[in-house]
Amino acid sequence: MLLDEPRRWQQGYELSKATGLKSGMLYPLLIRLSDQGLLDSQWREPARPGLPPQHLYRLTPGGIALAREVTAESSAVFGKARDPRSGKFATAFGSDRS
C-alpha cells in the first residue's frame, strides 16, 4: 500500500485496515521505519473540532528505493500472489507495477 502511492500521506488506521495488522504490531513497525529514515511522519490537525490529530506516514526516497528492491527480490524468490480483494498481483509493499 505504501509503495502504491509512496508520496501520499496515509493514516495509520488506513494502513492497519489495508494490511490487517493490529495497532500493537503496526505502530511499533512504523516507528522503527521512521527512526531508520525510511518513513516520514507528521501530525495533522483534525478537519473538525473535537477530533484527535492524525498521525500520517509516507515513504522517504530511501524507503521507496528499499521497498522496490525488497519487492523485486521477494517476487523473484517467492513469485507473485494474487490479492483476493483486487485481483491484482501483490507484494509485501503493495501492488506490483512491473
Three-state DSSP class for residue 36: coil
**pLDDT the model gives residue 49:** 92
pLDDT confidence bin for 1, thresholds 50/70/90 = confident
Does residue 3 lie within any of the structural domains? no
**pLDDT the model gives residue 94:** 55
Does residue 17 lie within any of the structural domains? yes
Does residue 1 lie within any of the structural domains? no
Q: In what order do the strands lie in the sheet with 39-44?
A: 10-11, 54-59, 39-44
Does residue 78 lie within any of the structural domains? yes
- The number of domains in the chain is 1
Q: What is the C-alpha to C-alpha distance for residues 37 and 80, in angstroms, rounded to an integer?
A: 28
Range of the domain at 25: 10-90
Strand pairing partners for 55?
A: 43
Could you report the per-residue pLDDT of 35-92, keeping only the tens digit for each?
999 999 999 998 899 999 999 999 999 999 999 998 887 777 666 655 556 656 554 4
